[in-house]
Structure 1
Amino acid sequence: MTARNAFYAQSGGVTAVINATACGVIETARAHPERIGTVYAGRHGILGALQEALIDTAGESAETIAALRHTPAGAFGSARYKLKGLEENRAEYERLIDVFRAHDIGYFFYNGGGDSQDTAHKVSQLGEAMGYPIQCIGVPKTVDNDLPVTDTCPGFGSVAKYIAVATREAGLDVASMAETSTKVFILETMGRHAGWIAAASALAREGEGDPPHVILLPEVPLDEQRFLDRVRESVERFGYCVVVVSEGVKTADGQFLADQGTRDAFGHVQLGGVAPTVAAMVKNQLGYKYHYAIADYLQRAARHIASATDVEQAYALGKAAVELAIAGEDAVMPTIVRESDSPYRWHIGRVPLAEVANVEARMPAEYIDESGLFVTESCLRYLRPLIAGEDYPPYRNGLPDYARLAGRMVEKRLPAFGA
């Protein structure tokens, strides 16, 4: 069988470990030259295919590719770009097939969340309809941890570790100053519809009175009075209160508390600023002095404190994606299958893309306590192994030393898209 080339693209919001997945894809492909020729990476994700902007990873040394394992963000560039349905947007899908044909690409590895799995599924369908053989493998990634079937999503374990550490450290700061200064500290996390990241802050608590004292989740409509009562109780009992709030928290009528009135490229409501909104409630109703912080990009870029479990799984899923393709699989996504909590054991599984495309996995009800303001022990059992272990990057001159790609571009063979 003649070796065919592969196309790899990163999609959506990046993570501390998405490049570890890229490393797994490229190193595994290089180990099978009889089946896979060159791995081309899309410059800025799927836009790289539409614009025929392909990065030739063969131009990167083995040392540089290995360094991707400890490098955060998207080394090849990512993009929030939603391809619509085949019927309404066939031209873009056909353009992908044209680019794949022009560069003898027989494998498509799309590293992203639910929208990306949907795109990979549609490309697989169109390739079959157009008589062009292309094996499409979705590779899971999302800090939100909201893909179904897989036990966890690469990127989540590291952001969970960051938030838990930040909660503990900031909590110590607030506790030390609460007598004469800040009484309430509010930390805003990512999480549009699923509260996994905010929930992970609960890992910081070791004993009664430890922060966080309140966790606000998208799965639970905000009961303002119940929330304020809990804040008051915490301040009266412990001298201070640490609140962790997910950006996707909604009011009782289903409106986002932090709706900016705009939408992103995927059609999602743009969120941001829930922390100051909650802080205003505390100030106006309780009169407490407060501070707030919005973790934003810091939480998903923090490779210096990544979870070793997360790094290992991110690489393993990239490796598995290539192995599935070589085995002849198409329109599937490798998954993490949990075997036990303690000790944490897992193995690689697989799921058809049709079962995960555009599907969100929210926190189950049994993970949220009766008050709706904290999580249960079963949730903590699920979370603990995902933040386990440290995988520090190498340091140079006191700072993390991350990979720098040559980024050699492939010569274009087609007219510009839309020309």
Structure 2
Amino acid sequence: MPRNALYAQSGGVTAVINVSAQAVIETARRHPERIGTVYAARNGIIGALTENLIDTAQEPDAAIAALRHTPAGAFGSCRYKLKGFDKNLAEYERLIEVFKAHDIGYFFYNGGGDSADTCLKVSQLGDKLGYPVQAIHIPKTMDNDLPLTDCCPGFGSVAKYTAVSIREAGFDVASMAASSTQVFILEVMGRHAGWTAAAGGLAAEREGDAPQVILFPEIVFDEDRFLAAVDRAVKTYGYCAIVASEGLRDANGRFLSEADTTDAFGHAQLGGLAPRLAQRIKTRLGYKYHYAIADYLMRAARHIAARTDVEQAYAVGRAAVELALTGASGVMVTIERQSDSPYRWTTGTAPLEQVANVERKLPRAFITADGFHITEACRRYLAPLIAGEDYPPYENGLPRYIRLKNVPVPPKTGRVFTIGTQT
């Protein structure tokens, strides 16, 4: 009898994470002799622990296909990281209990670095606790900071959104600068790695194009140098457009936008960098400003997704199932670049031990010597990732997105499990 599969989404969602879900479900449906039902855990690993499962078999093929055009997480996501076996054995025993009850033999976890760590631990259930399960990590992160892969699904679309947004805003500010706004700041996501901020640099194809200044988390923030660059741009071009990463740090290593709170992983909560920068510009340079904080808008922008990103998101989901069918476990699907122009790529694998909790930062060679823009090497890397359009269907002037039925699977374990404790 074929064993069942469990798919789950984790971490910050993207415009194309559902494309990977589509690929997993569609590929599994083509192999009924090997994979039974594909269940989805509601809200990531939390759904697995609480036995809150969804029966994707209740969704028709057309609904699953419509995931291609729908942003965010169709099955819910979470920020929850399993502790080590020695620190919370009860969670692993609970996973085995749920997996046994629903005959789960395959586990596909779709997420970033912390999710890779969770997937690695699930892959170790066989060796450590005697319940073998094939666990494959499907990469997803708009931050593009997973190691051993050319890029991460979710990033290309955010990169496209960033480049388009700063280009359009640049036209706006340039038209108003003579008598009104002279400085515009676009704050983008990127805690430790400046990939998203760098993508804004693609919009600057000629001298004076927006953005004139990019602020990367890899470059220590120097207020005097920054203000001098802004002042120089305004005096030279009449205005200055800035892309600023939320993860900007000062010389002491502190986030400029740190809010003195942390998330579920212990990461500092960030937000509000743009108004801080704007106020310094106003106080010290006297320029009128506007700013925007893209935040969830950029990662949910399916209407402007990059076709390359959509295709890669599907490819890694399909490859995960195909790898599982060969007996693979404890690996992440990767994207391997074969050439820049034309852009050619294929999928590969990387061991989760080398992926989990490792962040890939923007190389210094991708940042100009003055620290305020991208190099040609960076442009060559980024340009193919935003290529192509893959518009969703529209109805009444708005994108038509799917909401799945998400039919719950009846519990079989006979008990309630509360995260962190057992009752």
Name the TM-score, length of structure 1 as normaliser: 0.99
Counterparts of 2:122 and 2:152, CA distance in 1: 22
Aligned equivalent of 2:416: 416
Aligned equivalent of 1:30: 29
Q: Deviations over 1:238-287 (max 9, x none)?
A: 00000110000000111100000000001100000000111111011101
Q: CA deviation at 1:128?
A: 2.6
What secondary structure sits across from 1:325 in the alignment? helix
Aligned equivalent of 1:207: 206
Aligned equivalent of 1:405: 404
Counterparts of 1:163 and 1:170, CA distance in 2: 10
**What are structure 2's unaligned runs of at least 5 residues?**
none
Does structure 2 retain, via aligned residues, the 8 Å contact 1:97–1:127? no
Q: CA deviation at 1:129?
A: 2.1
Aligned equivalent of 2:142: 143
Matches for 1:53-132 after TM superposition, within 5 Å = 53-132=52-131
Q: CA deviation at 1:149?
A: 0.5
Aligned equivalent of 1:326: 325
Amino acid at match of 1:187: L
Aligned equivalent of 1:312: 311
Q: CA deviation at 1:126?
A: 2.2
Aligned equivalent of 1:244: 243
Q: Deviations over 1:28-87 (max 9, x none)?
A: 000000110000001111111011000000000000000001110000000111211221
Q: Deviations over 1:6-32 (max 9, x none)?
A: 000000100000000000000000000
What secondary structure sits across from 1:330 in the alignment? coil
Matches for 1:2-401 after TM superposition, within 5 Å = 2-401=1-400
Does structure 2 retain, via aligned residues, the 8 Å contact 1:54–1:409? yes
**What are structure 1's unaligned runs of at least 5 residues?**
none
Q: CA deviation at 1:91?
A: 1.1
Does structure 1 retain, via aligned residues, the 8 Å contact 2:197–2:214? yes
Q: In angstroms, what is the RMSD of aligned CA positions?
A: 0.7
Q: CA deviation at 1:215?
A: 0.2
Amino acid at match of 1:366: A
What secondary structure sits across from 2:124 in the alignment? helix
Counterparts of 1:272 and 1:90, CA distance in 2: 35
Counterparts of 1:126 and 1:41, CA distance in 2: 19
Does structure 1 retain, via aligned residues, the 8 Å contact 2:213–2:243? yes
Counterparts of 1:346 and 1:85, CA distance in 2: 35
Q: CA deviation at 1:385?
A: 0.1
Counterparts of 1:280 and 1:89, CA distance in 2: 46
What secondary structure sits across from 1:207 in the alignment? coil
Counterparts of 2:126 and 2:272, CA distance in 1: 43
Amino acid at match of 1:168: R
Q: CA deviation at 1:358?
A: 0.5
Q: Deviations over 1:386-413 (max 9, x none)?
A: 0000000011111111112111000001
Counterparts of 1:278 and 1:87, CA distance in 2: 45
Which aligned runs of 4 or more in structure 1 are off by greater than 4 angstroms? none
Does structure 2 retain, via aligned residues, the 8 Å contact 1:13–1:142? yes
Counterparts of 1:355 and 1:116, CA distance in 2: 13
Moved more, 122-131 or 274-283: 122-131
What secondary structure sits across from 1:9 in the alignment? strand
Amino acid at match of 1:416: V
Aligned length: 418
What secondary structure sits across from 1:343 in the alignment? coil
Counterparts of 1:34 and 1:104, CA distance in 2: 15
What secondary structure sits across from 1:206 in the alignment? coil
Does structure 2 retain, via aligned residues, the 8 Å contact 1:24–1:318? yes
Name the TM-score, length of structure 2 as normaliser: 0.98
Counterparts of 1:93 and 1:227, CA distance in 2: 49
Counterparts of 1:248 and 1:297, CA distance in 2: 16
Q: Deviations over 1:163-194 (max 9, x none)?
A: 00000001100000000000100000000000
Q: CA deviation at 1:205?
A: 1.0
Counterparts of 2:275 and 2:89, CA distance in 1: 43
What secondary structure sits across from 1:148 in the alignment? coil
Does structure 2 retain, via aligned residues, the 8 Å contact 1:6–1:108? yes
Counterparts of 1:175 and 1:99, CA distance in 2: 59
Q: CA deviation at 1:127?
A: 2.8
Amino acid at match of 2:137: G
Does structure 1 retain, via aligned residues, the 8 Å contact 2:125–2:133? no
Amino acid at match of 1:48: G
Counterparts of 2:402 and 2:20, CA distance in 1: 14
Counterparts of 2:12 and 2:164, CA distance in 1: 22
Counterparts of 1:186 and 1:129, CA distance in 2: 50
Does structure 1 retain, via aligned residues, the 8 Å contact 2:137–2:332? yes
What secondary structure sits across from 1:158 in the alignment? helix
Amino acid at match of 1:287: G
What secondary structure sits across from 1:120 in the alignment? helix
Amino acid at match of 2:149: T
Counterparts of 2:397 and 2:82, CA distance in 1: 42
